[in-house]
Structure 1
Amino acid sequence: MIGDSRDVYGYITLDKFLVGRGMAEVERNLGFHAGRLSRGAAFIKLMRLPALTEFDLAAYSITAQHRYTAPTGYDLDKLKAIAASQWTLSGGNRLVKVIPVIGHDETMRDEDQYPVGAGVPQWRLVTKTGIPGIVVAETHTGADVYRPAC
């Protein structure tokens, strides 16, 4: 429900790549298979920014987790600090988590379930306790548009 508190785990992205878009476009942006958001999703904003030790780089949604390898030859802490310096708790650069009603399907191949996305930036939270968040929107059909309540 909108306004509910939730701990956030896993992949996050920036709000500006999702706001005002229908579920089919959100699927394409994030690299979910067509229809994954047909029954809706919860959108959760983070209530605090992750510390550098609480997230890993995950590149862009053109590279799904099963294809991603961390870059070598770079100062990863510096890259993480650069990314984190752009994050906010409000506006387009706020961090959000999308939780589809239709969950991960163990019977689908990763290549089918997580096709190449549109290239939005993403990060993977690695903290065991999660990051506090609040549900700012819910969609219930694939025809819905993501419009955060706050």
Structure 2
Amino acid sequence: MKIAEMKQALPGLAAISFRLPDGTYLPAHFHVTEVGLVTKHFIDCGGVERRETVANFQLWEAGDYDHRLAPQKFLHILNLSDKILGTEDLDIEVEYQQATIGKFGLAFDGTDFVLTPKQTACLAQDACGIPNALVALPQLQAASCCTPGGGCC
């Protein structure tokens, strides 16, 4: 999800809810403690220099059970953050404290903001000698044999 999409979604909501990938909801008293610009400058395993920039939201909860972030207030926070985020329509990454700080992507289903899993990946598979078929193979095996009656257990 991009910043502009979130800004378009917020005015039509009566309340803000965030849902984790497992379907559970963040408590209604969550806080948005940070909106920031995160730039990662790195070299991948194939030696290619790369940069990634995202808008980062940090969500947090505490014992402040009376706290409720209204959609209009969140939109106001996003508009204030324009001076930090700039004018580029950035992808949103969300940090949320679980056993450790989890990083998630963000989607919107028309009602809820959904924290989506993020995965690591080799960005230079060709330079590392990883064939594309090898990357997809575990998914094919799981789909074909690890079903009830599939004989893998």
Does the alignment reach a TM-score above 0.5? Answer: no
Larger helix share, 1 or 2: 2
TM-score in terms of structure 2 length: 0.20
**Higher normalized contact order (CA 8 Å, seq sep 6+, divided by chain length):** 1
TM-score in terms of structure 1 length: 0.21
Larger radius of gyration: 2
